[in-house]
Amino acid sequence: MNKTDSRINTSIVSKRTSILYTLIFILYGGLLLKIYDNIEFTPENAHVLAAAILALIFVSSICLALATSYFQYINNKLPLLKLADAAREVAKGNYSVKLPPHRKDGKIDEIEALYEDFNSMVEELASTEILKTSFVSNISHELKTPIAVISNYAALLQDKSISVEEQKQYADKINTVSHDLAELINNILQISKLDNNQVEAKNESFDLSEMLIQAILSFDSLLEEKNIDLQINIPDNISIESDPGLLKIAFNNILSNAIKFSDDSGQIEIKVNKEDSKTSISVRDQGCGMDEKALKHIFDKFYQSDKNHSAKGNGLGLAMVKQIIFLLKGNIEVQSRPGQGSLFTITLPNSPS
């Protein structure tokens, strides 16, 4: 099977190079014939002339071979040696390696395309390494904070001079933080399973409308607390084939975020649209919205656009949502502007592939 790279607009052994080699061989052959025609063969000088011609052929062949070898070294072997050196550096953990363009004319041949792919790979590895380091740092912070809160309130409860009301407040605080800590650990375990492909989608046919309505009802108290106007546009009896458990986790996270970032007396719109090949679920809020920088990182683990962490959360929910939707062979898109709210849209195939 012949595979081509659309980026390549020239080749290491191009037509120009092939024509050049052909002209050299033609000129070389013509030179030998010219010498041969101008030689007067006699019995006395035959062996001398034969030796001279052989010597000329030998020397010329060596020169041509050396020129060809040098050309191949410059254009083929040298860039591959540079690539091998760079690969060894990456293997040592140096992700700052970047191969400069090999060609000076700005064109892309097979080697140049390979260099571009190598540089892209190193950038991805560097990004992954940064995320791993950030993950460890963030998880340490997220675990340390609730543990410190629990420890402080537990110490306060040991003070016999505090009132019964204060004891209740401290106990309630410990209970709330413990619940948050348990949720964090559960999310970390779920993310780990998704990262290591330990979660399989168990597709089945189910009523999407019913599942979404039941999920929305579980947020009644939060919606009432913020007096949010919920607009629901979900047709009845929409049947799809997917994993209802995983999809519910994804939807709950998105709706939870919409409520969290909505102002009091705000509005949230939930809409479902089924087409021939796909079904979409959209959740729109009128909250604070996000800028372009936040949109680029919104699905990264532990990323929070609110750097002061004033909004409740640990930055794992949307990372988990993206992995779940990918597992369900679907797609998730986000549209948002600062001060204008956000629109999350989940798209699922009607027949999972």
Q: Which structural domains are found in the chain, ordered by start?
A: 15-124 (no CATH), 130-195 (1.10.287.130), 204-349 (3.30.565.10)
Closest CA to 348 of 265, 246, 263, 256: 246
Per-residue pLDDT of the chain (353 residues; tens, 9 = 90+): 445 556 555 555 555 655 666 666 666 666 665 665 565 656 666 666 666 666 666 766 776 666 676 676 666 777 888 888 888 888 888 888 888 887 777 777 778 888 888 888 888 777 666 656 656 666 666 677 778 888 888 888 888 888 888 888 888 888 888 887 777 777 677 767 766 666 677 888 999 999 999 888 888 888 888 999 999 999 988 888 888 888 888 898 899 889 988 888 989 999 999 888 889 999 999 888 888 877 777 777 655 555 434 444 445 678 888 888 888 889 999 998 888 889 999 999 886 55
SS3 of the chain: the string is CCCCCCCCCCCCCCHHHHHHHHHHHHHHHHHHHHHHHCCCCCCCCHHHHHHHHHHHHHHHHHHHHHHHHHHHHHHHHHHHHHHHHHHHHHHCCCCCCCCCCCCCCCCCCHHHHHHHHHHHHHHHHHHHHHHHHHHHHHHHHHHHHHHHHHHHHHHHHCCCCCCHHHHHHHHHHHHHHHHHHHHHHHHHHHHHHHHCCCCCCCCEEEEHHHHHHHHHHCCHHHHHHCCCEEEEECCCCCEEEECHHHHHHHHHHHHHHHHHCCCCCCEEEEEEEECCCEEEEEEEECCCCCCHHHHHHCCCCCCCCCCCCCCCCCCCHHHHHHHHHHHCCCEEEEEECCCCCEEEEEEEECCCC
Is 325:332 a contact under the CB 8 Å cutoff? yes
What is the C-alpha to C-alpha distance for residues 350 and 290, in angstroms, rounded to an integer?
31
- Please report, as a single letter, which amino acid is at residue 185: I
Half-sphere exposure of 230 (CA within 13 A, CB side): 20
Closest CA to 255 of 238, 274, 270, 272: 270
Tokens 């410990």, residue located = 174
Q: Residue 308: its pLDDT value, please?
A: 38
Residue 79: how many other CB atoms lie within 10 Å: 21
Closest CA to 341 of 276, 266, 249: 266
134-139, Cβ contacts within 8 angstroms, sequence gap of 24 or more: 134/301, 134/302, 135/301, 135/302, 138/301, 138/302, 138/315, 139/188, 139/302
What does the buried/exposed string (b/e) look like for 94-110 if buried means 16 or more CB atoms within 10 Å of the residue's CB? ebebebeebeeeeebbb
